[in-house]
A and B are shown apart, each in its own frame.
Chain A
């Protein structure tokens, strides 16, 4: 049994950032990072760029294993962790190796959700999480592409297939993109941008069955219709990779439960990034945030707290994309039901503030976001806003 001072499960940006942070603060402790993909750590955020030919695949790699090894960070790739025993402080991998740790970080990320129904005739919808997924999307059969889902990944797939010259039909379970995160005006603006670019939106429509017809795929929809397509793409969110923690003694919910210091309920075990369901002091509840910025900064903070730090995670998260040329931005907590929404719309864009307990907890913007810094400051400062302040925002 090999012993490491620090074991990190997950070799994505979160895990690797944590390892580098630990090394910067502890020159001698042994560090092992275990990742299930075989590639060196890469940027998933760049995959849409690769698919759309904006950047070459070779550019997406962020860290070289030799450079990590030179810093005394050992990386095992292509190894999946099958079990953790928090009482014995051990981690076991599928190939039968057991390690013991001094401190453990769970940064195992998530995996794309799959369709809930089973009538899919062996058809595997395209996704956009891995290098292999991106290669498959590049090679997608042109013609008609059906995209299932309403979030950022669904939008990336829609834009990719549209750029390939395919007719794109988007199936949205609810009234539009991003579910409850958007107010009606923002939802309509985004829908307009997408449809103006030739994409057909079918709202309140779900795929209920997929089957093959020669080289085609037939999608049966909840309204009784059928779409004959050449390619199916899916982006319906991710599930945290926590199955290997069954029986570990570490508490999980939607993700691995942590406090604001990213500590789990078990001593010396931390969680960070897409897999962490952390107590967020900015909103006072636990939630899972799955984006680049969160993964990077939580990895850094976990590394600090694993080496004697005592810092609460309190950061306004942000994610944005350019949707057919229009900036689409999410700031702060957009996954928590607000008490009210304040919306300002003009020719250029639609800004929505999500208000809870008289504070802005999150914001969205479809179009140029001139107020970004103003909003950010108020989320960060947990500033109490009066009705007059909000009226002022609406008229600004």
Chain B
């Protein structure tokens, strides 16, 4: 891990149509995501957690509803 470039996330997007409210993201990155009244994940602060934690939260999503981009606008997760 140490030889890797530090992960940078510039954009987080939640696809509300895909989100089913499993809420794992809001447990893992609880300063970044919360569940709204309709049980959809919403972003409370895009910098609420460190990038590794936000990536872990995205990877925990059972519907791959969380999309992450780096500063060049390249999608980091999910992998194409």
A-to-B contact residues, CB < 8 Å: 13, 43-46, 49, 54-55, 59, 62, 291-293, 296-297, 315, 318-322, 327, 329, 368-370, 372-373
Count the B residues whose beta carbon is within 8 Å of the partner chain — how many? 19
Q: How far is the CB of A304 from chain B (nearest CB, A)?
A: 14
In the bound assembly, the distance between CA atoms of A298 and B37 in angstroms comes to 26
In the bound assembly, the distance between CA atoms of A45 and B59 in angstroms comes to 14
Q: How far is the CB of B52 from chain A (nearest CB, A)?
A: 11
List 27 A-B pairs, Cβ < 8 Å. A43-B63, A43-B64, A44-B62, A45-B20, A46-B64, A49-B18, A49-B63, A54-B18, A55-B64, A59-B64, A293-B22, A293-B27, A296-B24, A296-B60, A297-B27, A315-B27, A320-B20, A320-B23, A320-B39, A321-B20, A327-B37, A329-B39, A369-B37, A369-B38, A372-B37, A372-B39, A373-B35
Q: Scoring B residues 29 to 54 as 1 if CB is less than 8 Å from chain A, else 0, what string do you get? A: 00000110111000000000000000
Residues of A within 8 Å of B78, CB to CB, are: 59
| Given contact pairs A46-B63, A372-B39, A373-B34, a sample of 9 additional A-B residue pairs in the complex whose CB atoms are under 8 Å apart | A43-B64, A45-B20, A45-B22, A46-B62, A49-B63, A55-B64, A293-B24, A297-B24, A322-B20
Q: How far is the CB of A272 from chain B (nearest CB, A)?
A: 15
Instruction: Determine if A54 and B17 form an interchain contact, defined as CB atoms under 8 angstroms apart.
Output: yes
B-to-A contact residues, CB < 8 Å: 17-18, 20-24, 27, 34-35, 37-39, 59-60, 62-64, 78
Residues of B within 8 Å of A322, CB to CB, are: 20-21, 39
Q: Which residue of A lies closest to B34 (CB)?
A: A373
Instruction: Determine if B22 and A320 form an interchain contact, defined as CB atoms under 8 angstroms apart.
Output: yes
Instruction: Determine if B24 and A329 form an interchain contact, defined as CB atoms under 8 angstroms apart.
Output: no
In the bound assembly, the distance between CA atoms of A283 and B11 in angstroms comes to 39
Instruction: Determine if A369 and B39 form an interchain contact, defined as CB atoms under 8 angstroms apart.
Output: yes
Instruction: Determine if B21 and A320 form an interchain contact, defined as CB atoms under 8 angstroms apart.
Output: yes
In the bound assembly, the distance between CA atoms of A329 and B38 in angstroms comes to 9
Instruction: Determine if B62 and A292 form an interchain contact, defined as CB atoms under 8 angstroms apart.
Output: yes
